[in-house]
Structure 1
């Protein structure tokens, strides 16, 4: 009798059960206690396997795969602090709706809280952040295979968004040749092994209903705020708002084409705010707004009703407006709420947007992060996708740039952390196989520098731009104390990423001017591999440009 064989059979039921719920990719970190899960995943032909030595990066790799692939992604890690390193990715998935399946190996209960090596309290480690948690017992034939598979099905079948945490304790031995131990236990599931359906099929469909008063509402003055959504939704939302004659204020992640570009600048003008305040209804499609001026107006606006349409649950409105919280697929909801053609009523905002765009065009000359943000639409790969990091760069692109309608844009703007950005971008690329442009700041890159290793596995041209402004320059936009700003907020590291790229044998360049950057990008899009482009820029110029333009536009 071999416990290692039974551990494997137990694990094989877990892996096959999650596969039946759409898991195609499994991300694996090295570890001994997770051996039954790892080997069971490896022998299952339905999985594509990915590996990484850094569990925090591994979790974000899975997050990126789930963002772009739309299917749940499984993660296998060993016991101990390896589990804790999944926390940031788990939190982000809970806020942005990607589905992760965290399979965490554990010591058996008798080894917890008694001084055993690598044994920590893993039950409840993620508190309220998982959408579902399942704490399995140690493998034993006294528990039927039917209980195990139906428990997995119950957790997976009701997973609408976020992560499910399945904690899997295994007793030693973990290694050894397979024998017949547990074979009859495993075969008790009968022809389940030969079909492709879950043992227990469970679903909680979300129905979309038409608002009864929509024919009256659509005749009012309205404003559309477009937050984070997919490419299909973004194109449809822009067309819908245009037909209604309502202004659409598009976030950098909206994929609407931002028909009124530079909104984060022109919303600083009192004339724009005065006109928008005439709206009787505001409809927000998608969540996760970036622009500071948009968030300020969104907080203070007082229409008769404020509607938020988003597929994820939760209020999603920090300002707590009176109105309607509609949980629905955005495209389906727009189809049900047909737009009646109307004349645009937002003349002041349209004019201010045009004048602001001209101002930005005239000022954003030369070479720097503001110029990169302004020209971002020209640097995107054809038939590709874009991943944008956090802190200053995403705000500059939101304020100064304009992305094409329907062009796929990804980010980690749920918790808006700087951890795991390179690894998330790597996952996005591996999920689609498309050419990918990713942009992060220097501190973000340092935070996830281990994950440059993942870029070696790129399956198409991948460009990782690192904007090196020597520290967290976003803090120069905030009222941080001047005397302590450098030491305690910006924390400049004087880093050079040539050695980091070289350590992982990645193509590297550091262009000195715009022409060099454009030449390097043109070459990089010809190579089915990753290129790291370090953009060494003036430390404060990007933040100063944004501040200067805000001042000018507010006086137009």
Structure 2
């Protein structure tokens, strides 16, 4: 008996995309493949989603993370069956650790193809393990009313679970038998009316709960702040970018007399106006002095979002005599394990609630406390200025030059390892969006993440990524994917001959020059790449500039930021200079603090 031709698989895929769009999906990143044909065509034909083709699944996943960091919304990743989906895993681990929403849809082969040496077939049911918040099976296309109803329910549930109760990645596995291409049929099929009714009705709406800070926790934190004589706010990396959170935090800081030490990737540093708050990020350099830390020990610390990147700040604020609170929307961000309390909630909501609870209540903060930290902050920036903008480029000058060149409202993606540390020694106060891959703190996918951010911002808002040469080598695929962009995307690559952060570690400092250990250190840790970046950039049709002086870098940045598309700028610095320069900065700060 011959089965009549049916286009159920195409209609099934269109219904899934429609239901996801009903639930708020707006971006789909498609990596090509055969088994995902029905879904790829459905996405391309859905007027409510924007589709972006990215060949490499690993790159595609980091693009989705960059989009989520800007919007706070999930993008959908779509790939074919087999090992294709496995390439998403590094980015999904980052998304899980960073609480970023993303929906992964993997096309799959039917059950009968499993475990029998069928090509491009693996067990995809638990492909991502604990990296995902939820996994679901869509099943094979099925014309029964119950199955058609389930499509809308599964779509709505999967997309909502990317955002609540704990944001992160969700995996939906979708099976298809051949034919995969659309099938022409002469008349409506038996299931057509029911499916049309379902599409018209739409997917069920999911109303996610709002995270309201505990009133008991707010009252307790308010009381501690009112009684603190040396309160301090420390702002570590923020996982997604928000435009107004700093206003509430600064208002609270000013009311309780708490100086604010905000890292570059916190979202509380490059904000333009700080109101009446004392914001002194340069104190991180002073905190490298053990004697200064002892003389300026706070009695209450409120850590906002993630813990600070700086070991010096961590040593300063984690002390038995310090009452430390952690305010964060998710997780338990207290690696030191000595926080007195963790108050879950959106930092902006917590700051508003505490300020409201404080009212006109008197506070015990000593005015001299803020003055002493302002003085240390000034000493720090004086030391940094004395060690930057010489005749040749250095890492600190590269970071400062980039911040000087970026206009207000621009987006800066800070690479891990040395670039984010270099940014800590740079000091503009104009408003910038600063994104940082802090979930798993990896160095991969940085260009792709910047590309994702670029696709969600207006053409007038330039995007720049500051990264090292090893990070850039990790993400050559990101350059491949960055095509036909509206707006500027500047890849500022610090060429210092390998992973120089290893030179800051004991192994790098104790390997005798010329020894076998030093040779092994260079070969297996520094790993200089030797990539010809002019040719690599040109292969993907991107502009390229190699610069060796501050003036040449400034000119290249000005041109790149004003030009649509990708510009790769290779800033060449002396490989051994960074460590020595940072030591000189610290010595200057020590001398200034001692005067």
- The two structures have a TM-score, normalised by structure 1, of 0.93
Correspondence for 1:265 among 268, 280, 285: 285
Tell whether the 8 Å contact from 2:237 to 2:436 is kept in structure 1 after alignment. no
Shift of 1:37: 1.0
What secondary structure sits across from 1:535 in the alignment?
Answer: strand
Tell whether the 8 Å contact from 1:275 to 1:349 is kept in structure 2 after alignment. no
> Structure 2: how far apart are the matches of 1:473 and 1:322?
33
Alignment CA distance shift 1:228-1:2 (3 Å) = farther
> Structure 1: how far apart are the matches of 2:308 and 2:440?
12
Match of 2:273 in 1: none
> Structure 2: how far apart are the matches of 1:460 and 1:474?
32
Alignment CA distance shift 1:184-1:64 (3 Å) = farther
What secondary structure sits across from 2:312 in the alignment?
Answer: helix
Greater mean alpha carbon deviation, residues 411-420 or residues 155-164: 155-164
> Structure 1: how far apart are the matches of 2:184 and 2:575?
60
Correspondence for 2:223 among 200, 216, 220: 216
Match of 1:387 in 2: 413
Match of 1:164 in 2: 170
Shift of 1:428: 0.3
Shift of 1:422: 0.3
Post-superposition Cα deviations, 1:436-464, rounded to whole Å, max 9, x if no partner, equal: 12111111111111211233232112211
> Structure 1: how far apart are the matches of 2:445 and 2:68?
14
Match of 2:451 in 1: 426
What secondary structure sits across from 2:246 in the alignment?
Answer: helix
Give runs of ≥4 in structure 1 deviating > 6 Å: none
* 1:363-442 equivalent positions in 2, closer than 5 A: 363-366=387-390, 367-398=393-424, 400-404=425-429, 406-433=431-458, 434-442=461-469
Tell whether the 8 Å contact from 1:105 to 1:170 is kept in structure 2 after alignment. yes
What secondary structure sits across from 1:337 in the alignment?
Answer: helix
Shift of 1:263: 3.6
Match of 1:188 in 2: 194
What secondary structure sits across from 1:56 in the alignment?
Answer: helix
Shift of 1:137: 2.0
Post-superposition Cα deviations, 1:117-148, rounded to whole Å, max 9, x if no partner, equal: 11112111111111111123222234521122
Alignment CA distance shift 1:205-1:303 (3 Å) = farther
Shift of 1:151: 2.3
> Structure 2: how far apart are the matches of 1:477 and 1:182?
69
Greater mean alpha carbon deviation, residues 374-383 or residues 59-68: 374-383
What secondary structure sits across from 2:129 in the alignment?
Answer: coil
Match of 1:173 in 2: 179
Tell whether the 8 Å contact from 1:4 to 1:172 is kept in structure 2 after alignment. no
Greater mean alpha carbon deviation, residues 402-411 or residues 17-26: 402-411
Q: Which runs of 5+ in 2 are unaligned?
A: 271-278, 512-516
> Structure 1: how far apart are the matches of 2:291 and 2:383?
17
Match of 1:147 in 2: 150
1:477 aligns with 2:496: no
Tell whether the 8 Å contact from 2:283 to 2:376 is kept in structure 1 after alignment. no
What secondary structure sits across from 1:456 in the alignment?
Answer: coil
Aligned-residue CA RMSD (Å): 2.3
1:319 aligns with 2:336: yes
Shift of 1:487: 1.1
Greater mean alpha carbon deviation, residues 253-262 or residues 431-440: 253-262
Post-superposition Cα deviations, 1:381-412, rounded to whole Å, max 9, x if no partner, equal: 343211111111111112x1124364211121
Shift of 1:104: 0.6
Q: Which runs of 5+ in 1 are unaligned?
A: none
> Structure 2: how far apart are the matches of 1:78 and 1:370?
44
> Structure 2: how far apart are the matches of 1:458 and 1:499?
20
Shift of 1:276: 4.5
> Structure 2: how far apart are the matches of 1:544 and 1:187?
74
* 1:446-525 equivalent positions in 2, closer than 5 A: 446-480=473-507, 482=511, 483=517, 484-525=520-561
> Structure 1: how far apart are the matches of 2:283 and 2:6?
60
What secondary structure sits across from 1:487 in the alignment?
Answer: helix
Tell whether the 8 Å contact from 1:252 to 1:403 is kept in structure 2 after alignment. no
Alignment CA distance shift 1:114-1:217 (3 Å) = same
Match of 1:254 in 2: 266
1:122 aligns with 2:148: no
Alignment CA distance shift 1:288-1:132 (3 Å) = farther
> Structure 2: how far apart are the matches of 1:186 and 1:542?
67
> Structure 2: how far apart are the matches of 1:275 and 1:110?
71
Post-superposition Cα deviations, 1:500-522, rounded to whole Å, max 9, x if no partner, equal: 11001111111221111111222
